[in-house]
Amino acid sequence: MSKYKNFLNSLEESIQSTNRDLQDVELIAVSKKKSVLEIQKVIDQGHLSFGENQIQEIENKWPDLKKLNSNIDLHFIGSIQSRKVEQIHKHCDVIHSIDRKKIVKKFAELESSGDIKRKYFIQINTGNESQKSGVLFDEADKFISDCKSNYDLNIVGLMCLPPINEEPRKHFSKLAVLAKKFNLNYLSMGMSGDYQVALECGATHIRIGTHIFGERT
């Protein structure tokens, strides 16, 4: 059995243990640093949702992959540079990491001038870490309110990356409470090391690389 199928079985058990349905959770296969051939093997097993964090890598791999597999959803999960916004919007169906007003304005301008609409998550820096991307947790209420009130973007949820030296549960729980406060239905949280805790806290999108593709080289 493939690594991907093995993980799907484990994921199904994890989801059932939280009394949730497999259809409630979107598994994003994080394919950064993986070749077109490796990605196509996972697509051939029926997987349709992938995540990347570098626009250069997306431009090199995904136009051809999407021509061959038109029903793929590509998620951008990295930090966003303002000069890369246009290319990210062009290539990615879901963007998980908006975190600055300048970025929000650029995406809103692109959407108002064209007919392509994307889905967006706001990245929240739940640990208020100075070196990490994301809206500082203390400023999150104002940022989310402003985005929802003043920009015509389809903001569907919140995303976070907990501090590596802290218990992730408290950060996932904080994100879930914040999302509920603003009637946002989706939570992008949980990676290979902590996805089970994220599922217990209500994750709807988990971002998994190692368990699907193996270690990055």
- In this prediction, residue 151 carries a pLDDT of 94
Taking residues 100-122, report their average pLDDT.
95
- List the domain range (segments joined by +) for residue 142: 3-213
Domains identified in the chain, total number: 1
Instruction: Please give the pLDDT value at position 217.
Output: 64
What is the share, in percent, of the chain residues with pLDDT greater than 70?
Answer: 99
pLDDT tens for 149-166 read: 999 899 999 999 999 999
Confidence (pLDDT) at 182: 98
Residue 31 pLDDT exceeds 80: yes
Q: What is the average per-residue pLDDT within 24-31?
A: 97
- pLDDT for 215: 78
In this predicted structure, what is the pLDDT of residue 60? Answer: 97
pLDDT at 1: 77
Integer angstrom CA distances of residue 8 from 23, 39, 44, 175: 12, 16, 14, 25
Please determine, for residue 55, whether its predicted confidence score (pLDDT) is greater than 90. Answer: yes
Say yes or no to pLDDT of 216 above 80.
no
CATH number reported for the structural domain that contains residue 102 in this entry: 3.20.20.10
Q: Is the pLDDT of residue 24 over 70?
A: yes
For residues 50-73, average pLDDT: 96
Calculate mean pLDDT across residues 48-71.
96
Question: Residue 115: which pLDDT band, with cuts at 50, 70 and 90?
Answer: confident
Nearest in space to 3 (alpha carbons), one of 209, 188, 217, 195: 209
> Mean pLDDT of all residues in the chain?
95
Residue 132 contacts residue 162 (beta carbons within 8 Å): no
